[in-house]
Structure 1
Amino acid sequence: MGLDRTNGAVNIDSKPSNKPGLESSLPVTSILAEWVSSVDPSAITTSVRVKVNELILDYLGIAAAAAKTSESTPPIVAAINSLSPGNPNGNCTVVATGSGYAPHVAALLNGTFAHSLDFDDTHAPSTLHPGVTSISAALACAESLAGSRPDNDRFLLSVMVAYEITCRLGTELGYAAYSRGFHNTSTAGIFGAIGAISVLKGLPAATVANAFGLAGSRAAGSMQYLDNGSHNKRLHPGFACHDAFVCVALAEQGVVGATRIIEGKMGFLHAYSPAADDMNLSRLVNGLGSDWRFTATALKPYPACRMTHCVIEIAGDMGKKYPAKEVKRIEIKLKTANMSLVGERTPNKVHPNTEVDAQFSAYFQCAHAWLYGSDQGVRAYTRLDNRGIYDLSDRIECVVDNDEPATAEMGCCVVVEFENGKREEVKMKYALGEKEHPFEREQVEKKFRACVGAFWDEDKVAKVMDAVNEICEGGKGGVKELMALVA
């Protein structure tokens, strides 16, 4: 392995095993720790600045909307406040909630809010949401270091590093990790969050490695939440951020973490995914600092599981042309990997009773978009008991697509049979927001305004966007000023 110390780029030149779980496996934990400790802001390119700007703005809008509107927010905030009544003990901000929180608590709440609406950014190759852990940890840590005030490029770098670690680990875990019952967003996300905190604090590689080692005992996120549409899912990235701060604090004080926690025979990759034969440890670390794979992260136009987005877009378009009463049957063809999450014909998917179940229901999302359009945002979840949606959902069937290359990644095929005997088929390979089907800057700002428009006036909206621009374009304003605006 070669590590270019001038810019922190990683290139592999040695030949240990590329498979995790072997004594001779490539030492990726050490490589990642060394990279985190040495990566330099000179690695930030103009195109990456633009991307991170959009990711941060998107994150803030979603977190604010959930803080103000999500039904799970009041009990979660009440529970956290009950642990330290009258003594928040910190200087960190929770978006649209207030300030005075300790960093690990602020990150817990912000991470939870940013994930609550299922509106947060998605990295398709790793099947996870990288921003909720990456940005939550970076914002809280930067605020907590107010005395030293990390410069804006150091903050941007911390976000980039967090995204990159999360996305690369998630890619190796693959979708197979879900079949084992783990949620990649949080299991991989804790390592990315540690990366963000470590970059901002300027920690040495040994400390970063110990924090990673400790995180191996905290990486968690059970997919059992699908059984009843529980709030576990929303808390997953919050828990990951909280525990990332704990792991870093322990490592800073000399607590020893497990070595080889990522690649070891009982380590993260081997334990959390059955896909070890498909993993490639060289791929995991090669190009770190130069090949920013997280830039494939897509913003979401709809507050629902990414696997339903092509369904929503197709149904919204078809609903403009054909009244639902003319529809005899709708068949939704999904990738095998997506079927279990959004397409199984279970009562809580066909007729969901909770927001989480509806977010993971191709039936509800298709019927709702057909009847009300694809631009309804979170208003969709005020219609869980809508009779029209209920009736149309009964005419929908989800099946495994036997022509999967035509519905790559999060794509789908929708086949509609009409009462008059007509049949229409629409295929969509890439969801809106992917580079092949882009979500333009104008749409990013429109989404942000839609998220916060009910409680922030246009003057505040403009100031928040300007503050994000200041951070990402080298202005004088920093994280402290931004968080004061969004408190």
Structure 2
Amino acid sequence: MSDAIERLAAHLVETSFERMSPDAITAAKTFILDTFGVAIAGTTGPHVPELISTAKGWGSDATASVWGSRERLPAPHAAMVNAYQAHNSEFDAIHEAAVIHPLASILASVLAVAERDGGITGRDLLTAAVLGVDVSCSIGMASTETLKFFRPATAGSFGAVAALARVREFDVEKTIDALGIQLGQIGGTMQVHEEGSPLLGMQLGFCTRSAVMSSDMAVAGISGARRILEGDYGYFALFEGGSDIESGFAGLCEDWRICDVSHKPFPSGRATHGVIDGILTLRERHAIDASEVAAVRAFVPPLVHQLTGRPMIADPGVNYARLCIPYVGAVALQRGAVGIADFQSARLRDQGTAALASRIMVEIQDVGDPNALVPQRIEIEMTDGTIHAVDMAEVIGSPAKPLSRERHLEKFRENWKSGAIALVGDRGEQLIELVDRLEDVEDCCEIAKLLVP
């Protein structure tokens, strides 16, 4: 009996670099560089030192770099740490329709294997990134239910396995084996999202580690499940609850999913960005002083409310605050921006911010799509009774409202300077230049060398 995974495996194996559109290649370069910058900033994330120290006890085959660090680990564990660093600040790019952060796991796994095994070129990496995003995001787009498991870890890791299959030149059967093995390893609960736990980002790291292992096991000749997506106990039945394969796979081989990935201009959950964007728009348009705001009401789709409609609490943890519309909305009103420093302990405990956040209310408006992040409506009521409102059909950073290259590079450079260990500034500029000509780079290890002190 056939399974939809066969279509994805054939697409992965048979699609050449030359077939990809110039826009897809440009988008891939943009989000590859963005992910590296975010991962460097993520070296300051919760429990990074503890995670590295623990992973060092799991093996001595130190074949791959931990980005932004002098440490080296076995490839699967380096991939785990690097993927976690790329996601722990909620600053990495997202495919909104799929609700997946696809690049973190793809880049962490491919670079770890590139360092360990060699023989992977920049063109290989570009091709694998575009096709890996096609795989994971087509799966995510095919879901018809709201998130129960953490999809960036579960479906997202299929993209990492796919990217590894591509750079390791698997045929269709071996690709399916690797993906089938991965089905037996994936996991990730939304409970830690609800609680604002650092384990949320670690789950993406765990599944990325498993992606390297699944690929290695397929190389060794180990077989995997076959009805990976549509089986009675396959991905959709167990992890999603409902699917529409034809809808999710529509346009495959013609429309490149990488072109629909969104930049994240703020280091908070993407579901908060519409409200932040709307508040900043109104703040500038009407010269709003935060001290004169009586209330803010955000009318958002159900998924946005589920992910980030949580109330403000006393002394929130950093992960809770990144996923809290009232907190980031209050910061946007006060400062006219939301940045990395806004999630430091002193800022999180600021009583003025907490008081303003308590006046921000998040309400559900049904839009008929369980995975939609827009449209949204933001209303700001002033103490004199005036109400300012804006309707957000698109969110800044989306393909319909993209960041300029100047702002993209500004974000990268700021992240590059924000790591736990200072990296040579010139290396950041070298990385920009290298990614711009990535299709001509002979060895991906050149990238890894620039990502460490």
Q: TM-score range by the shorter chain?
A: over 0.9
Cα distance 1:241–1:408, how it changes in 2: closer, same or farther (>3 A)?
closer
* 1: CA distance, partners of 2:195 / 2:250: 40
1:7-38 deviation line (CA, Å, top 9, x unaligned):
xxxxxxxxxxxxxxxx6xx6212222233333
Report if aligned partners of 1:173, 1:184 keep a CA contact under 8 Å in 2.
no
Q: Does 1:340 align with 2:315?
A: no
Output the TM-score relative to the length of structure 2.
0.92
1:99-148 deviation line (CA, Å, top 9, x unaligned):
543221121111000001000001011112111112212222222231xx
* 2: CA distance, partners of 1:410 / 1:74: 37
* 2: CA distance, partners of 1:329 / 1:217: 48
Q: Does 1:71 align with 2:37?
A: no
- Aligned partner of 2:222 among 238, 255, 260: 255
Shift of 1:202: 0.7
Q: Does 1:328 align with 2:301?
A: no
Report if aligned partners of 2:40, 2:68 keep a CA contact under 8 Å in 1.
yes
User: How many positions carry a matched residue from both structures?
Assistant: 445
Shift of 1:57: 0.6
Q: Does 1:356 align with 2:319?
A: yes
| More contact order relative to length (CA 8 Å, sep ≥ 6) | 2
* 2: CA distance, partners of 1:138 / 1:189: 14
- Aligned partner of 2:262 among 298, 301, 306: 298
Q: Does 1:448 align with 2:412?
A: yes
Which stretches in structure 2 are left out of the alignment for 5+ residues? Answer: none
Alignment correspondent of 1:264 = 231
One-letter code aligned to 2:328: Q
Task: Output the aligned Cα RMSD.
Answer: 2.2
Alignment correspondent of 1:167 = 137
Report if aligned partners of 2:40, 2:415 keep a CA contact under 8 Å in 1.
yes
Alignment correspondent of 1:222 = 189
Alignment correspondent of 2:55 = 80
One-letter code aligned to 1:254: G
One-letter code aligned to 1:77: I
Which stretches in structure 1 are left out of the alignment for 5+ residues? Answer: 1-22
- Aligned partner of 1:439 among 403, 411, 426: 403
Alignment correspondent of 2:373 = 409
* 1: CA distance, partners of 2:102 / 2:67: 18
* 2: CA distance, partners of 1:386 / 1:264: 51
* 1: CA distance, partners of 2:412 / 2:254: 30
Structure 1 segment 171-210 matched on structure 2, within 5 A: 171-174=141-144, 176-178=145-147, 181-210=148-177
1:38-81 deviation line (CA, Å, top 9, x unaligned):
332222332222111111110110001111x2232121112112
Cα distance 1:451–1:326, how it changes in 2: closer, same or farther (>3 A)?
same
* 2: CA distance, partners of 1:442 / 1:133: 26
* 2: CA distance, partners of 1:57 / 1:214: 30
Percent identity of equivalent pairs: 22
- Aligned partner of 2:334 among 357, 371, 375: 371
Q: Does 1:37 align with 2:21?
A: no
* 2: CA distance, partners of 1:352 / 1:343: 17
Q: Does 1:107 align with 2:79?
A: yes
* 1: CA distance, partners of 2:377 / 2:313: 18
Report if aligned partners of 1:210, 1:258 keep a CA contact under 8 Å in 2.
yes
Q: Does 1:156 align with 2:126?
A: yes
1:159-203 deviation line (CA, Å, top 9, x unaligned):
1111111110011124x241xx21110110121111111111111
* 1: CA distance, partners of 2:211 / 2:78: 12
When Rg is computed on C-alpha atoms for both structures, the one with the higher figure is: 1
